[in-house]
Amino acid sequence: MSRKLITAQTEWFAELPEVKKHLNEAGADNDAYIQELIYAVQSKVEEDYDMGLNTATWEVYFDKFPKEIEIWMWPIASIESVKYTDADGDTQTVTSTNYGTDLVNKPARIIPLDSYSWPDTLVTPNAVQVQFITGFASPAVLPGDLKQAMYMIIADWMDNREDRGRRFTRVAEIILTKYKYR
């Protein structure tokens, strides 16, 4: 399985003023650097923990239909389409009434309904494409402990700008681990 970002997020988990408040930063001297840290920390957390915290569109690819399609990102807001390349080389779309989705558990799953079987595909790489949307509806509904973990990482990276051989603070790791599922 491989995945590709189709439409990037347009907002981040926190705005500059709230991060500055957490850091007790009053002036504007470090604003650009703090903004870079917001982007860097969220990107690193998303990458390391297979998360998509703000609304973005992704595709995952499979060489053929597995018994259950598993999507190893969290949270999944919706499944937009399930497409495949048929034996003739044409792209087809599976009707959403032919499969069920479990977007609550980790990983999210797409399962054919009892009356339906996944179709045969052309033997080619990435014959099956699933497009989905990740993220919370808004940064305001992001779990508070997850947001605090990222604040802690920003504060740590702000205070310790050199590489110390560790990714995140111990407390942030403990919080983030609760959201990791593999």
pLDDT of residue 180: 77
Q: Strand pairing partners for 85? A: 91
pLDDT of residue 164: 63
Task: Tell me which amino acid residue 21 is.
Answer: K
pLDDT of residue 168: 81
pLDDT of residue 165: 62
* CA–CA distances in Å: residue 17 to residues 26, 151, 160: 9, 12, 21
Residues in Cβ contact with 22 at an 8 Å cutoff, skipping those fewer than 6 apart? 151, 154, 155
Chunked into runs of 10 residues, the chain (182 residues) has average pLDDT values of: 86 88 91 93 89 91 96 93 97 97 93 94 96 89 91 89 73 85 62
- What long-range pairs does 88-91 form, CB within 8 A, spacing at least 24? 88/122, 89/122
pLDDT of residue 111: 97
Q: Is 135 left (phi over 0), alpha (psi -120 to 50) or beta?
A: left
pTM confidence score: 0.84
10 Å CB burial of residue 122 (0-12, 13-18, 19+) is: middle
pLDDT of residue 160: 82
